[in-house]
């Protein structure tokens, strides 16, 4: 049975800071149990959107529904079910790591005992948690931020650039933790400018630029939108030739790179007449998708 409403519903959401546009008329939904990527460079409007979803900012106009309820008037109830990791996470410097986590538990009216398994998987041994936060490294502080976002088993996780400062092993542990919570039905909204990260763990995403969402779709569908690249190498010179329906991008000796402009079947029939040594049609990665939406002149 499908859920009757999305966990996050954003409709025509706009936020102005005086005459400056934070975000303008953005709309998207996030379904239960989904890891949804929110992709854009710094300054695109990602953090503004997150602060509006958490009721830390109030919109100029538009609608925000979380768990099927209007955010305005239900903010406290909604946030009890949320875990939040802000970008550039910081905490009270004169508290120790453990004192900070205990404070988080107190604020949520939960027992002070933090799951030792969660602490262990991020190498937050007692000697780290007994130190004052102002003396912790950036990576250790980020791990502390992850723990405070996850420890109460939230139904919705809102994560802003969550892996900044983490080494590759800790990033892998973090991705495993995300998948475990997703399997339990947790919904995850992940804001990032890290292309590889979004491509690895998200099936669907929104691309935001200058406060406006340019596209919301699955990564698979976004790839299909792009024209295919064709790479091939000849076993011997075949003189000058043209491929009808394809545009030559680059040639290096007997190696060629084309963009397929028309029906791929017609292009492949022409290739069958050439002395091919190697051929590939690589799937476009997220970087190509991202550049497609950020470099197009019509958006400048």
Contact 128/104 with Cβ under 8 angstroms?
Answer: no
Of the listed ranges 22-31, 54-63, 164-173, 178-187, the least confidently predicted one is 164-173
Burial environment of residue 292 by CB neighbours within 10 A (0 to 12, 13 to 18, 19 or more): middle
- Per DSSP, 282 falls in state P
Tokens of 38: 């929110």
Of the listed ranges 7-16, 18-27, 89-98, 217-226, the least confidently predicted one is 217-226
Cα angle 277-282-283, degrees, rounded to a multiple of 5:
165
Q: Has residue 299 got a pLDDT over 50? A: no
pLDDT band at 291; cut points 50, 70, 90: confident
Q: Has residue 300 got a pLDDT over 50? A: no
Q: Has residue 297 got a pLDDT over 50? A: no
Q: Has residue 2 got a pLDDT over 70? A: no
Residue 85: predicted pLDDT: 96
Residue 100: predicted pLDDT: 94
pLDDT digits (tens, 9 = 90+) for 111-133: 988 888 999 999 887 778 899 99
pLDDT digits (tens, 9 = 90+) for 240-285: 888 998 889 889 999 999 988 778 888 899 999 999 999 998 877 6
Residue 295: predicted pLDDT: 64
Distance, in Å, from the CA atom of 23 to the CA atom of 11, rounded to the nearest integer, reads 12
Contact 165/12 with Cβ under 8 angstroms?
Answer: no
CA dist 38 to 24, 90, 271, Å?
15, 22, 40
Task: Look at phi and psi of residue 279 and say left if phi exceeds 0, alpha if psi is from -120 to 50, else beta.
Answer: beta
Of the candidates 135, 6, 138, the residue with the CA atom closest to the CA atom of residue 69: 6
Q: Which residues of the chain form CATH 3.40.50.300?
A: 8-223
pLDDT digits (tens, 9 = 90+) for 16-50: 999 999 999 999 999 999 999 998 888 889 999 99
Distance, in Å, from the CA atom of 90 to the CA atom of 83, rounded to the nearest integer, reads 15
Q: Report which of residues 195 and 43 the model is more confident about.
A: 43
Mutual orientation of helices 138-150 and 97-107 as an angle, nearest 10°? 20
SS3 for 17? strand
Class of domain 8-223 (CATH, top level): alpha beta
To the question of pTM greater than 0.85 for the whole model, the response is: no
């Amino acid at each position: 049975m499908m859920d009757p409403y999305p966990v996050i519903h954003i409709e025509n959401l706009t936020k102005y800071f005086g005459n400056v546009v934070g975000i303008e008329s953005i709309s998207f939904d996030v379904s239960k149990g989904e890891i949804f990527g929110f992709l854009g460079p710094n300054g695109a409007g990602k953090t503004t959107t997150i602060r509006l979803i958490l009721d830390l900012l109030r919109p100029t106009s538009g609608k925000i529904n979380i768990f099927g309820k209007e955010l305005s008037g239900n903010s406290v109830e909604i946030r009890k079910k949320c875990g939040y990791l802000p970008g550039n996470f910081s905490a009270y410097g004169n508290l120790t790591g453990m004192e900070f986590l205990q404070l988080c538990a107190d604020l949520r009216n939960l027992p002070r005992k933090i799951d030792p398994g969660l602490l262990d998987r991020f190498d937050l041994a007692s000697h780290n948690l007994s130190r004052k936060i102002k003396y912790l490294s950036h990576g250790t502080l980020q791990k502390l931020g992850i723990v405070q976002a996850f420890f109460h088993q939230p139904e919705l996780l809102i994560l802003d650039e969550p892996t900044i400062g983490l080494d590759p092993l800790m990033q892998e542990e973090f991705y495993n933790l995300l998948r475990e919570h997703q399997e339990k039905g947790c919904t995850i909204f992940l804001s990032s400018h890290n292309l590889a990260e979004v491509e690895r763990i998200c099936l669907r995403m929104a691309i935001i630029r200058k406060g406006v969402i340019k596209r919301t779709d699955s990564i698979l569908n976004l790839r299909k939108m792009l024209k295919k690249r064709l790479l091939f190498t000849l076993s011997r010179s075949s003189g000058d030739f043209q491929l009808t329906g394809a545009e030559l991008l680059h040639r290096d000796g007997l190696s060629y790179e084309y963009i397929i402009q028309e029906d791929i079947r017609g292009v492949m029939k022409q290739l069958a007449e050439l002395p091919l040594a190697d051929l590939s049609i690589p799937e476009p990665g997220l970087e190509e998708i991202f550049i497609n939406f950020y470099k197009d002149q019509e958006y400048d």
